[in-house]
Structure 1
Amino acid sequence: MADAERTWAGTTLSDRRSARRRRLLDAGLDLLGTGATVSVRAACRHARLTERYFYENFADRDELVVAVYDEVAGRAHEVLVDAVSGDAIGAEGGARQRARSAVAAFVTLVLDDPRLGRVLLLAPLAEPALARVGGQRLPMFADLVREQLSDRVDEQDRVLTATALVGGLANLFSAYLSGAIDVPRERLTAHCVRLVLGADALHS
């Protein structure tokens, strides 16, 4: 029997490794998502694991930071994809309904658990490890927006509009999460919907 399949206390070695990695990722999310200092020691203390288990999963603290960011970015993308799917808005859903569904889903994600919003939007501004990674992940959100825009204009215009819109919305949510903008959640949502619909109107 392979080592990874040997059981101890009812779990395999592979299961225990996965559980330890999950604990470290959760610790990284807590630290990065609250603006705390992320270090190997801090992550291990938060996860209640020794450094031996940290290095079993990550080469260094930067690799942990990137892994946490990638997981949050992937979750945000999945939420947005689900929000604009036919199942979410119905067969007759138009641009307005798709915009409302997507904005509401994103607002729920980043405001109900502010750690996620801070990791996704604020951490890349403060974390050298994410300076390049954040920019590399931005196109996947722009691509999602581009797919929702009217196809009455050429592809380059759709790319330009989607990129500008994603950048603008990211700055808006960053300001909201940092406390620079203080408005009710409902007003923030309504304003973002108008921005999305206004961008699509450019292509009508």
Structure 2
Amino acid sequence: MAAAYTLYAKPGFAATTIERLCSEARISNRAFYECFGGREELLQALHERCVEESLAVVAKALQEAPATLEDRVRAGIRAYIEFATADWRRARIMHLEVRRSGDVLTASRQRAVDSFARLVEEAAAEFPQSGRPNRRLVALGAIGALQELLIEWLLAEDPPPIDELVGVAVHIFGRTLGSS
């Protein structure tokens, strides 16, 4: 898994063969197939591990945040962005390779987005919503914006500072959820 974590992040899933994975991990092809049915299954396991860890980090940040919507939004976003960007490989797997892998991670990606949308909905549930659009759809839109911000951070020649990413994401989430 450690070899895949690096290779799937760069050069990427499509460019990483079983042979290269096994060579990097110093295991035989047979040993690989005793653990995984193929490189797609390994990518899914890596993606799901990253998602589970990030969900736990964000949930903890939301629990510890002051009880205002704005504070919860800021805490959750900062926790997610800092977690994702703390290791470029994690950010690439969660935000680039998940899309580049084609249908391999479609279901896993949808489960992840759904889990994050539920976290957003739960964090905002006790705050009034009158006259606002469907909170789930708003959460999905804001999550999409956050993903695009992280892709920009990954691909930009001069990546924006983390604090700027957090500020923009907080602005987007705050406007859409009604906290600012």
Report the TM-score range of the alignment, normalised by the length of the smaller protein: 0.7 to 0.9
How much does 1:29 deviate?
0.9
1:183 and 1:64 mapped to 2: Cα distance? 31
1:96 aligns with 2:70: yes
CA deviations 1:16-51 (Å, max 9, x no partner) are xxxxxxxxx111111112234222111111111111
1:34 partner SS = helix
2:167 is the counterpart of 1:165:
no
Paired residue for 1:185, among 162, 168, 172?
162
CA distance in 1: counterparts of 2:157 and 2:2, whole angstroms = 27
Closer, same or farther: CA 44–132 of 1 in aligned 2, 3 Å: same
- Gapped regions of structure 2 (runs ≥ 5): none
Deviates more, 1:126-135 or 1:188-197: 126-135
In structure 1, distance between residues paired with 2:159 and 2:39: 33
- Name the CA distance, whole Å, in 2 between partners of 1:177 and 1:56: 34
Deviations 1:130-168 (A, max 9, x none): 244323421111111111223434997111111111111
Which of 47, 65, 82 is equivalent to 1:69?
A: 47
Aligned to 2:30: 52
Is the alpha carbon distance of 1:50 and 1:139 closer, same or farther for their aligned partners in structure 2, counting shifts above 3 Å?
Answer: same
Structure showing greater radius of gyration is 1
Larger relative contact order (CA 8 Å, sep ≥ 6): 2
Give the aligned length: 175
Give the % identical residues. Answer: 23
Q: Which residue pairs with 1:127 in the alignment? A: 101
